[in-house]
Amino acid sequence: MRSGGKGTLRKRVLWVMGLVALALVVAACAPHASQDTLKPQGPYAREIKSLFIPVLWVAAAVFLIVEGGIVWIIVKYRHRKGRDRMPAQTHGNTRLEIGWTIAPALVLAVVMVPTVATIWDLASKPPSNAINVTVTGRQWWWKFEYTDPDMKTAAGGQIVTANEMVIPTGRTVYLTVTADSDPGAHTTDGLPGFAVIHSFWVPELAGKQDAIPTRENHILMQADHPGIYHGQCAEFCGLSHGIMRVQVRAVTPQEFDAWVANQKLDALTPQPGTLAATGMQDFTGGQCIVCHAIAGIPNATADAGPNLTHFASRGCFAGCLLDNQNADDIRRWLEDPAAVKPGAKMPNYHLSPEQIDALVAYLMSLK
Ligand code: HEC
Ligand SMILES: [Cu+2]
């Protein structure tokens, strides 16, 4: 092949690679991204951003100086036709070497001051009016237990929810983040154990925290305004890791009190003779209570699956993949959980369409 042909081929490959890179960059753009650390919606997330931005600028300056120097040297001292002589070779330069040891040390020392201050600050004890919630990563959904003494339910336990965590605006939430620690303990069907590491991250409200079996990590969370804030598991945890989402619903303090009051109540019992009442019978008489708790129903206290006491009061289920207010979503889930969510730890019970209709009616009545 002639050398000219090789040159154009190489150029073409470069062009294609450049376009692919550009396409990847453009594909990463989202105008209304809901998991944006750069748009903090609470004081703790804001604190992280106000550390990130200056450190980013310092890093950008270092990058430009180092890479700029490399490019400049490559261009300046590149091999040129008719210039075969070696440039002057230098070995050792004490002044330069001391300089490029001290300069990075200084840069790091400067960056360290706000970094350490922020770390201490975010690791400090929460204010005394903080709400305590234990977040447990399960395969593949998040469990939230409100552990404060004033979060006791009528049935004697604590308020427990799944997938959607409700918090009041303007108040610190002190999260204890952990993961299922008992491999196999929650399986009744010989399914594999669940003790794996997850990571809890709702970028607009708080930092990211690993959820590790048998360990307890803490983070502080707070929201300025009412709204829905999205997050998802940030540590690969198995088949449905990619759809292990979570949502935080921030509400006004008054709305929060009303929510708490409702969550403390036992589950509603459907009117006799209704479809929902049939669903309740299917639920308590069938497999469901082997894994799911519903406060107020004797024996329905299992913790292998999400607590369903107030299922219909939540905005999303099954890793925030589906909508609790949508009968078709619930139907799809009951028909075959693993078809909706690969590897789902809820088995397919091959329910009849009538059973499913009744169960959907019952679940949707659990406000
Ligand atoms: C072997 C234990 C087990 C049994 C039995 C079981 N489930 Fe589940 N269920 C689970 C698990 C685990 C999840 C969470 C799966 C996920 O999100 O990945 C779940 C999730 C659910 C959800 C979604 C809850 C939420 O908030 O995310 C509903 C609704 C549900 N199950 C209803 C039922 C009904 C109705 C029955 C009886 C027909 C039943 N389950 C039987 C384990 C079980
Ligand atoms: Cu996970």
**Average pLDDT in the chain:** 91
pLDDT grade for 183, boundaries at 50, 70 and 90: low
Determine the Cα angle at 26 with ends 23 and 31, to 5°: 160
Q: How far is the CA of 198 from the centre of ligand 2 (A)?
A: 4
**Angle, vertex CA 233, rays to CA 32 and CA 258, nearest 5:** 75
* 193 vs 213: CA distance, rounded Å: 12
Residues 328-354: tens digit of each pLDDT: 999 999 999 999 999 898 999 999 999
Residue 176, pLDDT score? 97
Q: Whose CA is nearest to atom 43 of ligand 1?
A: 346
* Ligand 1 centroid – CA 95 distance (Å): 68
Average pLDDT over residues 139-153: 95
**Pocket around ligand 1 at a 6 A CB cut-off:** 140-141, 162-163, 188-189, 283, 286-288, 290-292, 304-306, 308, 311, 317-319, 333-334, 341, 344-347, 349, 351, 359, 363
Report CA(41)–ligand 1 centroid distance (Å).
32
**What pLDDT sits at residue 186?**
52
Q: What is the pTM of this model?
A: 0.87
Residue 217, helix vs strand vs coil: strand
Q: How far is Cα 315 from Cα 330, in angstroms, rounded to an integer?
A: 12
What mean pLDDT do residues 241-258 have? 96
Question: Which of 23-37, 39-53, 164-178 shows the lowest per-residue confidence on average (mean pLDDT)?
Answer: 23-37
Q: For residue 307, which atom of ligand 1 is closest to its CA? A: 26
Residues 6+ apart with CB under 8 A from 200: 135, 137, 142, 175, 177, 208, 209, 210, 211, 219, 231, 233, 234, 246
**pLDDT score at 86:** 76
pLDDT of residue 27: 85
Q: All domains of the chain, ordered by start, with CATH? A: 33-76+94-124 (1.10.287), 128-367 (2.60.40.420)
pLDDT in tens, 14-26: 999 999 999 998 8
